[in-house]
Chain A
Amino acid sequence: MSTQDFSAERIAGAVDSVVQQGLSLALSTSDLCFLVALHLRSTTSQLSSFAEHQLEDVFGHVRDLTTAGDEPLAKSATRAIARLREQRMLSRVDGLGVVRAPEYSLTRLATAIIENLLEEEILTRESLSVLTRSLAIALRDVKSNCEEAESDGDWAEMVIAPLRVSTSDLVRGIERRQRGLDQQQEAFQETIRGLLDADWFGSIDRCQELLDTTSLTLRELNELLLRDSQQLLASLQGILERALSASQEDAASIAHQLIDKLDRIVAWGSARQSAWSEYFQYVHRFLRDVVRLDPSRALTQRLREQLAGTAGRSFALAVAGGESIVLLREAVARPDAPPVSRPRKPRDTPPKQGPVFDADAALREQVRERVEAGAQSLAEVTTDLAAELEGGDQFACAGRVAQSVAEVGKPRPARPRPWVKVGDDLLIEDWNLSCEDQTTGVAS
């Protein structure tokens, strides 16, 4: 299964779970105030849980500070406690039911919300130093445990658990503070804008100071991250290699995840440094080129009038007209033409002599064969040679047969000459070619 499929499956599972349970979260401002007050009371008075009267007491205090309602305090407090229990912000911890008055404590969800509201955890040089040092120590211990671990139980107890809990917590701590720093940066940009808006020329020194301080902080953080991350990554790499060689897939997977997180932290530092560098340069240039040179903001007013077309003549900036880029064609190597030369062989071939077919001679020969074979009449010879032909060809052939018969034999026409049918469409005047007469004729 690919990482994307796995991730999609997890998302689907989580969403399904939320839908199935019908989870929702709705907290009003007064509820949040109540929660914050409870959290502060618990930290100042070292309370791990609250009795009902303590909750009412805190609620009353909050109600006095926010809105004073007409409703009796006990009733309002009861409703507020019920709402917070519905929203999983308060949980009953005594488990005694009706036996004793209940005690409540803030849930993990409530604590997280309150911490997010109250605590501005921002990455500073000091906090990052402490966190990275703690992380380095934790990883060093885990790495040495890797060398000693032999059984699966050892790996689970001495490597996987510390990696999953303490080390991951420390990395999460850095990430949380990063988000704080990002928020601080946004607020810082707002501050610069507010300062310039409020006092255009008078804010230069203050802006300059803010820029320098923030720039120094970011540079220090980035240097620290780059330096310490190498050491942390080396330790994690060692743990990963040891886990892989011992075929401890869980440990290897957690080490992988931590390496990814550390890489992200380093990339974050680098990106912030780069973005800040651009911002720093821009604001510096703005202060120098615009604010210092235009203390009364007259330029803005004049430019506005110019744009509105109410002042001066219209003009256009002259720019260099760039020539269009000349695109050269692809060079194609043409083949060399062959040199001019005399042909070695004669191009004309002499005509060859061959046999010539003489149709009249062939017909005459066929007639001779028939006459010598003893044909009795012209009609017999013509029938032999021309009966198969049709139309004009038959007629022409019959004529040539008659001519040939007259040449090779001695025909004797009968008196009167009979007309004999040859083929279907032809009638000829027959001649007698009887052998007796012929022999006589020949002999004579």
Chain B
Amino acid sequence: MRKKHLSTGAMLVGQALALLYLDPATAGLGGMVDKGQLLAQLDGVVGTDALIRTFNPKRRRYDERVAQETVRKKVAMELRRLAGLGFVELAADEKIRLRPALLRFAEPVRGLSDPAEALAKLVASGEIELTEKTRLDPDEMRAEDDE
């Protein structure tokens, strides 16, 4: 079977969901969050500008409203992709049920060892691939637009 890696956008969304999974507030609610919480988490940790640049890589100048709408759409799309892979479950009313598999996104920083060393081990075992990209690949975006 062919092997591929998750897109930058999916990695961002996955890590934000993992962070939500670790939140006591989410644990108290039985692991249910909504899209608003996810976007707030991304916005709070990554920052609005970085988030917009990440999900709008081809645009040098952008309208803020359109760019934010694009971010919401892309996040929703990545969320569906992660749901397809079994990391989360999409429930009714735009709710997301977080699953323990999300801790895979925290794998390099999970142990007590140095993160760089853990990363190297994971790369060697073929579980992750190192990427240089900090934004979505334009080809990837085109493919997503076609979808």
Contact yes or no, B45 A314, CB < 8 A = no
Q: Are A303 and B119 CB-contacts (below 8 A) given A189-B28, A321-B1, A321-B2?
A: no
Contact of B11 among A192, A196, A317 (CB under 8 A): A317
Q: Does A304 contact B (CB under 8 A)?
A: yes
User: Which of A189, A194, A306 is close to B109, meaning CB atoms less than 8 Å apart?
Assistant: A306
Let me know if A189 and B29 touch, CB within 8 A: yes
A314-B22 CB under 8 A given contacts A307-B16, A307-B45, A321-B2 = no
Give chain A nearest CB distance to B76 CB in angstroms: 19
Check if B5 sits within 8 Å of A283, measured CB to CB: no
Q: Is the C-beta of B30 less than 8 angstroms from some C-beta in chain A?
A: yes
Interface positions, chain A 249-305, Cβ under 8 Å from B, are 278-279, 282-283, 285-286, 289-290, 294, 297, 299-300, 302-305
Evaluate contact between A312 and B119: CB separation under 8 angstroms. Answer: yes
| B15 near A303: Cβ-Cβ < 8 Å | yes
Q: A-side binding surface: helix, strand, loop or mixed?
A: helix
Inter-chain residue pair count (beta carbon < 8 A): 138
CA distance A384 to B125 in the complex (A): 117
B1 in contact with A323 (CB, 8 Å): yes
Chain A residues whose CB sits within 8 angstroms of the CB of B100 once the complex forms: 285, 289
B131 touches A315 (CB 8 A): yes
Determine if B132 and A282 form an interchain contact, defined as CB atoms under 8 angstroms apart.
no
Interface residues of B in 21-46 (CB under 8 A from A): 21-25, 27-31, 45-46
* Complexed CA–CA distance, A317 and B104 (Å): 8
Q: Does A318 sit at the interface, judged by CB under 8 A?
A: yes
Chain A, residue nearest B7 (CB): A316
A25 in contact (CB, < 8 A): no
Q: Distance in Å from the Cβ of B142 to the closest Cβ of chain A?
A: 18
Interface residues, chain B, with chain A CB atoms under 8 Å away: 1-8, 11-12, 14-16, 18-19, 21-25, 27-31, 45-47, 50, 85, 100, 103-106, 108-110, 115-116, 119, 122-123, 126-134
